Structure 1
Amino acid sequence: MSTEEKIKQIEEEIQKTPYNKASQHHIGKLKAKIAHLRMQMEAGKGGRKGAASIGYSIKKSGDATVVIVGFPSAGKSTLLNALSGEELSKVAAYEFTTLTVIPAMLKYKGANIQLLDVPGLITGAAHGKGRGKEVLAVLRNADILIILVDAEKLWQLNAIKEELQNAGIRLNQNPPRVEIEKKIRGGVGITKSINVQLTDIEIIAVLNEFGIHSADVSIKDSITIEQLIDVVAGNRKYIKALFVVNKVDLVNRNEILKDLIQISAEKGEGVKQLKDEIYKKLGFIRIYLKPPGREADFVNPLILQEGATIENVCKKLHKAFVSKFKYAQVTGKSVKFKEQRVGLEHELKDEDVVTIFVRE
């Protein structure tokens, strides 16, 4: 029996097994077995080299990278052009227009956001169909995914979510706070700092399926068995996502889900809102630099992530700034008064004005 046949057989067993408290341990073991078999299957294939081929090897640039993903003819190329303001991606009214990864740049609120238009996904992409492996390799390096679907084909949304789930990509989720430290001997020790529904027997069963028989496990989140499997597998990617419906000008909008961003890329409708959502989702803050004795530069802000500190500013300006740092002066929302002196650990807010003083 091939690995794919084994996986199918186990999936059928899960479907036939009624889910209840008595069976959840058995179902958990089966799910862990499937995850382990899939990892073995991918390792056996050795990974195709297409992800590094011409057109798929894209160097990250700018302050963040946003990848537009969707089925063929969803309007990805039109959206790329609308967001960037340039005719970079070929547009046509037939499927598979984009055969390589096409980069563009969105300049917005002082940030340079790299946009990537990738070939359309198809069902089975997670298992390599339609050059799916190469496309998914690009997605895994994104800071944000724009999940784009045709307003007349809303079923595409769940289909894409399923493909990404199968490929180990988790959308709008935080990595579970679970630490697993393997040991040579001594069995499995489990520490829970929160009320976790999983029993120790279930946790140990999942670990054993992955060949872990001795380890210290610390769980700080109320996790599901699927989340535990993700942690043990260790190859999951947690990526922010925006869900966008294109071509809304062609349908009755009352039929469109209200929690989706609605646009018409061709007509430019909703594009400004999408830019705002991208910027917001990236969690950017703008820091205006004021060199000592000079005026602040309000034209070219330094773009950082929310929670950034003075140390982050120093590292982005010059590697020597941290070792030579004396103090910083900050004016803005993060301080109580103008030009307040702060240290490296001071957390900044959007539109703070910062002056760095270093030792000669």
Structure 2
Amino acid sequence: MGILEKISEIEKEIARTQKNKATEYHLGLLKAKLAKYRAQLLEPSKSASSKGEGFDVMKSGDARVALIGFPSVGKSTFLSLMTSTASEAASYEFTTLTCIPGVIEYKGANIQLLDLPGIIEGAAQGKGRGRQVIAVARTADVVIMMLDATKGEAQRSLLEKELESVGIRLNKHKPNIYFKPKKGGGISFNSTVTLTQCSEKLVQLILHEYKIFNAEVLFREDCSPDEFIDVIVGNRVYMPCLYVYNKIDQISMEEVDRLARKPDSVVISCGMKLNLDYLLEVLWEYLALTCIYTKKRGQRPDFTDAIILRKGASVEHVCHRIHRSLASQFKYALVWVSICPRGMWPAGDPGRIRGGQMAGSPAEAAGFAGAGTPTRLPWSSGSPGRVGTPADGVCSCCPQGTSTKYSPQRVGLTHTVEHEDVIQIVKK
């Protein structure tokens, strides 16, 4: 019996087994076996390299987004609208037969968008070259699941099932379970919370199925047997997913409203170019990118060339993006926080920033004739902006004598930078 037949038999047995206290150990063993066989199925064969070409594309830009969906749901049309890449689109299925990359330029970031061939049911087992498509999706930072708003919810559940079977966990976090195999001493089991889905006996049975007889296990949250198996296997990918319902111009307003209220969902129409700008805003939030601006001593910040980093990045990451040897020459950094309580820039600065864009002409931003001469700016040479009136470079919405938003903070390499901060690196 082959691996596919074994997987099919286990899935059928799980489906016909009732879930109760008496069968939880049996179901746990079946799920462990199922995960093990699926992992074997995903292992590349020795002759895989000689069978055609794959879909892998060199990763570029600041982030990667993969378009996943059934054939003829609008993925190629979406790529053509959002990027300068032309992807063939037609009314018949399987128009796209390989991976077509494009680049979205948004808020100073270059986001790589991959138009993958449509997948069909059974893609995880290799049907329709589905394993190659899903393998590329595992390398993405965000998955956009393109759905046809006229075809019901079955397509969404089928796609989720295919991605789940190859180890892609959508909109989930990694289970807070400590697991460490040991050379001896048996299985040490502990938990800091009350467990309602797993027990020590079930954990031991699952570990024995994987031929693990010595390990240390600590549950820090109430997790299911499936989540514990994910921790043991260790090759799961946890990534955000955005469900995009296309062709909303062909359904009723009530149905559009129902789909739009679903979690992690956005409704669009590529044919009528509806709601695409809102989709970009939501995608930016899911990517969790941060724009950092740099400045030289005695000069204004360079708002035309942002450094794009992941949210939670430190000053050390900024140094590495500027030059690989800068961190070793680092002395300290001056950081100007860009956002005040109401998200405004100093009233004394005519060239204030709105989402990375200048709110005024370059002449006004530079303080030339016709724009009025700005007073001392928080990033100008000399003493940094002090607390006082708006004319002193402090936002008018901040209570006088309480805001220090525009005074630079002297920080080290481990300091976490925030979105649209201005940073000046001082070397030794």
Q: If the length of structure 2 is used for normalisation, what is the TM-score?
A: 0.79
Which stretch of structure 1 is more off in the superposition, 290-299 or 202-211?
290-299
CA deviation after TM superposition for structure 1 residue 323, in Å? 1.3
Q: Which runs of 5+ in 1 are unaligned?
A: none
Amino acid at match of 1:342: V
CA RMSD of aligned residues (A): 1.9
Question: Do the aligned residues in 1 keep the contact of 2:338 with 2:422 (CA within 8 Å)?
Answer: no
Aligned to 2:273: 268
CA deviation after TM superposition for structure 1 residue 44, in Å? 7.9
CA distance in 1, matches of 2:117, 2:107: 28
Aligned to 1:131: 129
CA distance in 2, matches of 1:277, 1:100: 27
CA distance in 1, matches of 2:56, 2:38: 25
Greater C-alpha radius of gyration:
2
Q: Which runs of 5+ in 2 are unaligned?
A: 340-403
Aligned to 1:180: 179
Q: Deviations over 1:65-95 (max 9, x none)?
A: 00111000000000011111x2421111111
Amino acid at match of 2:322: L
Cα 1:4–1:87 shift into 2, 3 Å: closer
CA deviation after TM superposition for structure 1 residue 136, in Å? 0.7
CA distance in 2, matches of 1:68, 1:47: 28
Please state whether the residue corresponding to 1:323 is helix, strand or coil: helix
Residue-pair matches, total:
357
Q: Deviations over 1:259-303 (max 9, x none)?
A: 221101122111101110111111112111112232211112111
Question: Do the aligned residues in 2 keep the contact of 1:51 with 1:134 (CA within 8 Å)?
Answer: no
Question: Do the aligned residues in 2 keep the contact of 1:325 with 1:357 (CA within 8 Å)?
Answer: yes
CA distance in 1, matches of 2:12, 2:56: 38
Q: Deviations over 1:180-212 (max 9, x none)?
A: 221222211123233333111111111111111
Please state whether the residue corresponding to 1:326 is helix, strand or coil: strand
Question: Do the aligned residues in 1 keep the contact of 2:85 with 2:101 (CA within 8 Å)?
Answer: no
CA deviation after TM superposition for structure 1 residue 224, in Å? 0.8
Q: Aligned match of 1:343 in 412, 416, 421?
A: 412
Q: If the length of structure 1 is used for normalisation, what is the TM-score?
A: 0.94
Q: Deviations over 1:135-156 (max 9, x none)?
A: 0111000000000011111321
Q: Does 1:228 align with 2:228?
A: yes
Question: Do the aligned residues in 2 keep the contact of 1:101 with 1:117 (CA within 8 Å)?
Answer: yes
CA distance in 1, matches of 2:218, 2:70: 40
Cα 1:67–1:333 shift into 2, 3 Å: same
Amino acid at match of 2:166: A
Amino acid at match of 1:297: D
Aligned to 1:249: 249
Q: Deviations over 1:35-91 (max 9, x none)?
A: 11222344484583389926x12011111000111000000000011111x242111
Amino acid at match of 1:340: Q
Identity of aligned residues (%): 40
Cα 1:119–1:307 shift into 2, 3 Å: same
Alignment of 1:1-360 (within 5 A): 1-43=1-43, 45-46=45-46, 48-49=48-49, 53=53, 56-84=55-83, 86-154=84-152, 155-197=154-196, 198-256=198-256, 257=259, 258-259=261-262, 260-333=265-338, 336-359=405-428
Question: Do the aligned residues in 1 keep the contact of 2:180 with 2:215 (CA within 8 Å)?
Answer: yes
Which stretch of structure 1 is more off in the superposition, 120-129 or 179-188?
179-188
Amino acid at match of 2:105: K
Amino acid at match of 1:103: P
Cα 1:283–1:251 shift into 2, 3 Å: same
Amino acid at match of 1:264: S
Question: Do the aligned residues in 2 keep the contact of 1:102 with 1:118 (CA within 8 Å)?
Answer: yes
Cα 1:234–1:157 shift into 2, 3 Å: same
Amino acid at match of 2:171: N
CA distance in 1, matches of 2:285, 2:6: 44
Cα 1:51–1:302 shift into 2, 3 Å: farther
Question: Do the aligned residues in 2 keep the contact of 1:127 with 1:133 (CA within 8 Å)?
Answer: yes
Amino acid at match of 2:35: A
